[in-house]
Structure 1
Amino acid sequence: MSSTTRITVTLPSDQVAEIRKLTDNVSGYVAEAVARQIRHQLIGDDLRRYEEEHGGFSGEELAEAQSKIFGAVGSTKGADAA
């Protein structure tokens, strides 16, 4: 198990109420959301660096990536339904 650090954050009351409707583990929920945001930021940084080095993605490359992403999402949803 990874180490943890206790911190205090301030969130709008309505968000806290919604989180508590979804889970009893508010810390876990927030940690997962932060991890997702960090991944999003790192991927964005990588994409910007790639484009700076190699130029922008072509329409064909973007369409292929989109197809793979939505294909993977569709596969995951199908697996959940099984």
Structure 2
Amino acid sequence: MATTTRITVTLPTEQVAELKKLTDNISGYVAEAVARQIRHQLLGEELRQYEEEHGAFTEEELAVAHARIFGSSEPGGGATAA
């Protein structure tokens, strides 16, 4: 089991009300949100460092990344307008 530390967090009343509608485990919900934000920030920093060392990503590199993430090389999943 992961070690935990009790802290106090102050949130706007409206956010707390919405959280209570979404979950009975507010601590778990907040912990998941914090973990997701940390991953997001770490990934952003890694991408910035890569671009500093190797230059900006090309359109082709971005298309390949998009395809790997979303399963299509076209933005929007490859759907076309009728």
Confirm or deny a common fold (TM above 0.5).
yes
Q: Which residue of 2 aligns with 1:80?
A: none
Deviations 1:5-38 (A, max 9, x none): 0000011111111111010000000000000000
Report the Cα distance in structure 2 between the residues aligned to 1:16 and 1:61, rounded to whole angstroms.
41
Q: Which residue of 2 aligns with 1:67?
A: 67
Q: Greater CA radius of gyration, 1 or 2?
A: 2
- TM-score, normalising length: structure 1: 0.85
| Structure 1: 5+ residue stretches without partners | 72-82
Report the Cα distance in structure 1 between the residues aligned to 2:70 and 2:11, rounded to whole angstroms.
32
Q: Which residue of 2 aligns with 1:12?
A: 12
Report the Cα distance in structure 1 between the residues aligned to 2:58 and 2:26, rounded to whole angstroms.
42
Query: How many residues are matched?
Result: 71
- Provide runs of 4+ in structure 1 moved above 4 Å: none
Identity %: 75
Alignment of 1:3-82 (within 5 A): 3-71=3-71
- TM-score, normalising length: structure 2: 0.85
Q: CA RMSD in A?
A: 0.5
